[in-house]
Amino acid sequence: MSVVVNIQQNSKKVKKIGLDFLSSWTAYQNQYFGILDQAYVIDSYKGEKDIRGQLFVLYSQKKYGRGMSFFVDDQYNIELVLNYPATKTDIEMFYKFIHDFCKNFGFDTFLQEGNPYHLDQISQLKEEALTFHQDLIGLHPGLTIFGCIYPIVLEEELIKILSTLDKKEAYDYYEEYLDKKQKQDFYYAKPLIYQKNEHEYIARYALTENVPSIFPMQECLPFGYDQKLKDKIKDWNVVLVVDKNQKLQVWEEIPYSDFCFIIDINHYPKFDASHIIITINSEILSKIENYLQEQAKSELEAWLSDIRELGHKPAKIEYSMTFIDEDGIKCHIFKYKKTLLGKWYLGIVSDSGTFSEMKEYKKNTELTDAKHTLNLLKDIWKKSAR
């Protein structure tokens, strides 16, 4: 539900409206502008100076609410949209924009919901809108409010607070709530969708070291995505990006469910009813590394237990180190004993597979020996591919 206002140009005296005008005009109006991405998160506009056909979001520099939509058609006519329930600042901004824009372009009238109005009726329309939107603050938990910066899933705590206030107080509280939420500088983690094969897709959330991020508490496709893909997504993963010598690189990719288990997702502060705020730091990376080492250790134990290999679990097994080869293959090195009093042997668990040549482990040559074993695995894959 929304209020739609159209400002029609005189076809004989068309005034062009481009990016330069939008930039200077919004600055004059004390507004910011941007575009929404697929997840309805604000992004900066990096397109052409001809802005016709592009939907923009304009919002107050003072209070971050829901903002308003701004659209220029092929004939340079303007369409402005105010979504329900808008905040007091949104409404005042909306009608001030209409008044000043019409004055600047020499228009006396505009259309609201298809009905013509004169500029001297703006004060009345604004007051009616304020009363109407104030009465709409009968919200419910789980409702998504598409703000000017982020989509926000309303918490039950907010609804309880609003229910204890009178209409005006509740309306003011709603505005402060949206403003406070959206003035926090976070990255909004949204899934990047990749096609695995003809029938299957992979969804990946990217989290960067030391960047506070809004992260979903459940696997989900945001509202703006093709919801038909959800049943075709077979893998939901989290990609961790770290800063190595002032250069960002992918450190690890793990299943979403494993990531949530490792970090204990319920122990992080909530952004809204469906998201937490998380910052990947050294402590989290250490937890993940330890978890991955234990997983790799279990894989090697299972491989050695096969009757075609050792035939049983090793008497002792210890992690040694991890390396990444020139092809970007990550490899964990382990040493293990067939019997408690026996000597140590070398085994690896890598992106290319798990293997041991049953050769004696030597500390001073472990990296060279592990790379040799890894290359054997890679050769097997290459021959299989051929």
pLDDT tens for each residue of 196-251: 888 899 999 999 999 999 999 999 999 889 898 888 999 999 999 998 878 888 88
Q: Check: CB of residue 190 under 8 Å from CB of residue 274.
A: no
DSSP calls for 325-349: -TT--EEEEEEEESSTTS-EEEEEE
| Single-letter code of the amino acid located at 71 | F
Determine the pLDDT at residue 385.
65
**Kind of pairing, strands 56-60 and 42-43?**
unpaired
Q: What is the pLDDT of residues 255-309, one digit of tens each?
A: 999 999 999 999 999 999 999 999 999 999 999 999 999 999 999 999 999 999 9
pLDDT of residue 50: 94
pTM for the complete prediction?
0.85
Residue 81 clears pLDDT 70, i.e. is over it? yes
| Neighbour count for residue 302 (Cβ, 10 Å) | 12
Q: Domain spans of the chain?
A: 2-134, 187-280, 289-385
Q: Mean of the pLDDT values across residues 112-123? A: 94
Residue 102 gets the label, from left (phi > 0), alpha (psi -120 to 50) or beta, of: alpha
Instruction: Tell me the H-state helices in the chain.
Output: 19-28, 88-105, 122-134, 156-163, 167-182, 256-263, 282-305, 366-385
State the pLDDT at residue 386. Answer: 61
From edge to edge, which strands make up the β-sheet containing 275-278? 187-188, 213-216, 275-278
